[in-house]
Each structure stands twice: as C-alpha cells, then as structure tokens.
Amino acid sequence: MKIEQFTDPYLGETWQTLGARVLSAGSQVSVTLGYPALGRRERLATELAAFLGVPQVDLDLRFRAPQGRGPAGIRNIIAVASGKGGVGKSTTAVNLALALEREGARVGLLDADIYGPSQGMMLGVAEGRRPEVKDGKFFLPIKAHGIQAMSMSFLITESTPMVWRGPMVSGALQQLLTQTLWDDLDYLIVDMPPGTGDIQLTLSQKVPVAGAVIVTTPQDIALLDARKGVEMFRKVDIPVLGVVENMALFCCPNCGHETPIFGSGGGARIASECGTPLLGQLPLDLRIREQADGGTPTVASDPEGSLAGIYRDVARHLAARLWGQQAGARAPDAGTIRITMTDD
C-alpha cells in the first residue's frame, strides 16, 4: 500500500490528490501537510501504521501553510463571524487563534469589532498598554500567549465609547489591518463584529479573505442569523470553511447530567442546509467563560485539556479545509517522493 494513497482524516481526499509532500523509508515517514497538526501526530502515526500494515511508524510531521492572497506578512486571512451577538464568537476566535499556534502555525488575531473590542481583555493585555510605533506610521502588534494581536482596545481606554459613523469604522478597520506590521503569519484570524453591516462589507471588498468560519448556538433564532451570515459571505465570493456550534450541551458539574439547554442538532442542520461542514461543537462550560474573562483563554490555560482539545481539533479542521480549497488546482502527484531502502 502506497502511503501517498492515505486518506486525510479531515478532508476525505488522498494525500497524493492534495499535494502533500511525502517521503518514506521503511517505518520512517516524513509528511508535510498544508495544515498544522502537532496535536494529532501520535494518532496519525498509529493510523498510518495500520494503513501500511506495519507495527509502528516513526512519523516526522511537518507543516507548510498554503500561500494565499494576504497582504505583506500574512499568508491567509480567516474571518470568524456570527449572524448575531451573544453566541460566543470572540471567545471562539481567540481560542481558535491560540489553537492554531499550539498546532504549529504562526498566528495573528485582529479584533475587528471597533465598537466593542474585547480581545485585549481576553488576551490579558493590561489596560493602558499601547502598541509600539515604527517609522511614525506602523503599529507593531502586541504579543500575548504566543500570538500577535491588534485591537482598537489597545488604542483607547475601556470607558471610551466609539461614537462613529460607518465610513469612520470601515476606515479604522483598514488602518488596523494595513498599518500593522504583522510578522510572517501563516494565518490572521479576524474576530468580526456580529451582523452583516459595514465592517463585513469592508472586509469582503477591501481585504483578500481566504475563508470564513460561522459561529452559532443551537437556538432557532441564532441559526436563522447564522444562515444569513453564510449567505452574505457567499454573495461576496468568500468561501465558508464551516460552522462551529457553541454552547451545544451543558454538563452539570455536580451530577454529570447532560442537558441541551439551547436545543440540539442545530449546528449540524445549518451546516447541512448550507452545504458546509460542522467543524466542531463546544459545550456550555463555566471554565471557558472564566478563563477568557481572566485573560488566559482555555487553550492557553490548559492546552492539553479536553476543552482545549475540541478547539484544537476545530482549528485543524478549518485549516485543513483551507488547504483543500487551495489545493484543488494542484496536480495529483505534486510533491510526492518515495524512497526505497535496500539491504546492501
């Protein structure tokens, strides 16, 4: 069995079709994927061993981000959006950014919610800390928990209301993006404000967004707005990488009883109706809120824990979807090398 015929666990396509770079010599295998997957290396090695019919595989797993159309210093821009507020979009965005970093990527986070920026607090950036300025016109992103970040909250105080009209908000977003010296990012995660207004239109028309992720809860009203979000991105030709269902299930910390407080199956239903995958489901868990409010989001607070594991799996899935989308035009046998060892 040729290892390049192995089916990628997230995309359902062979590595040969996707253009993964594969080198194999006996039980030693080196694979370069188009998405970061450090957290899945051991499991992947076990799956490869079973596929090849050998006792074990010594896997060297590498990552090379697809070269998207991002501006200088950014390979791929991914928007995290929701049709309505209150679904946990910003918490999801920061944890996905941190998850991609833990999986092996260079990641930035742009807080595009000009009216209500929250990423500064979630990342534990002290109030009053300002980004450094280079050459009098460029911001240097603030580094927190291993990622680069920029937010309007770094430029104003928490008590300052943004009483701006639409054009001013759109201009501010473009400045935050283009006047920040992002340092060689594989992915820039953009935490969008809720809805389908000026910021969304500005981002879609002025910025080369590679893909979008829609965050929803199982509630019918949230699903209705999520569907609008999916259709908005499609109208402006931005691929929707998938749906993340937040607050899917509540597990009582005392008795362990599980209750779908906001309904069940909604995320899968909206994903199916819109022809996009359900990337993952997050429970309604007090720790997620407490950790984000405390400035150390779940993936940074407990990177090997079960909750972080869900975020990391979602991050791998969405990055894989982006790779698969961009790999579609590649030749099936691109970058595949096989080395045969002989007993001399």
pLDDT tens figures, 70-101: 888 999 999 999 877 788 899 999 999 999 99
- With contact defined as beta carbons under 8 Å apart, do 199 and 192 qualify? yes
What are the pLDDT digits (tens) for 26-83?
Answer: 889 999 999 999 999 999 999 999 999 999 999 999 999 998 888 889 999 999 998 7
Q: Is 191 left (phi over 0), alpha (psi -120 to 50) or beta?
A: beta
Asked if pLDDT for residue 336 goes beyond 50, the answer is no
3-state class (DSSP) for residue 69: coil
Q: What is the largest CA-CA distance in the chain?
A: 76
Query: What domains are defined for the chain?
Result: 3-64 (no CATH), 74-303 (3.40.50.300)
Count the neighbouring beta carbons within 10 Å of the beta carbon of residue 185: 22
pLDDT of residue 331: 34
Inter-residue contact 51 to 6 (CB < 8 Å): yes
- Residue 163: band (very low, low, confident or very high) from pLDDT cuts 50, 70, 90: low
Q: What share of the chain is helix, strand, coil (3-state, %, to 5)?
A: 35, 20, 40
- Distance, in Å, from the CA atom of 201 to the CA atom of 148, rounded to the nearest integer, reads 24
Strands 28-33 and 21-25: antiparallel
Q: 326-339: b or e for each residue (b if 16 or more CB lie within 10 Å)?
A: bbeeeeeeebbeee
Long-range contact pairs involving 283-292 (C-beta distance under 8 Å, separation at least 24): 283/247, 283/248, 283/249, 283/250, 283/251, 283/307, 284/247, 284/248, 284/249, 284/250, 285/250, 285/251, 286/253, 288/88, 288/91, 288/95, 289/91, 292/91, 292/94, 292/95, 292/122
Q: What is the mean pLDDT of residues 177-189?
A: 93
pLDDT score at 279: 96
Q: Compute the C-alpha angle 313/315/321, nearest 5°.
A: 105
Phi, psi (rounded to 5 degrees) for 94: -65, -40
pLDDT band, very low/low/confident/very high, at 327 (cuts 50, 70, 90) = confident
Q: Is the pLDDT of residue 339 over 70?
A: no
Q: What is this structure's pTM?
A: 0.89
| Phi, then psi, of 43 in degrees rounded to 5 | -65, -40
At 334, list the tokens.
């691109």
Q: Give ∠ CA 307-109-140 in degrees, rounded to 5.
A: 140
Of 173, 85, 285, 219, the residue nearest 297 (C-alpha) = 285
pLDDT digits (tens, 9 = 90+) for 199-220: 777 777 778 999 999 998 887 7
Q: What is the pLDDT of residue 338?
A: 34
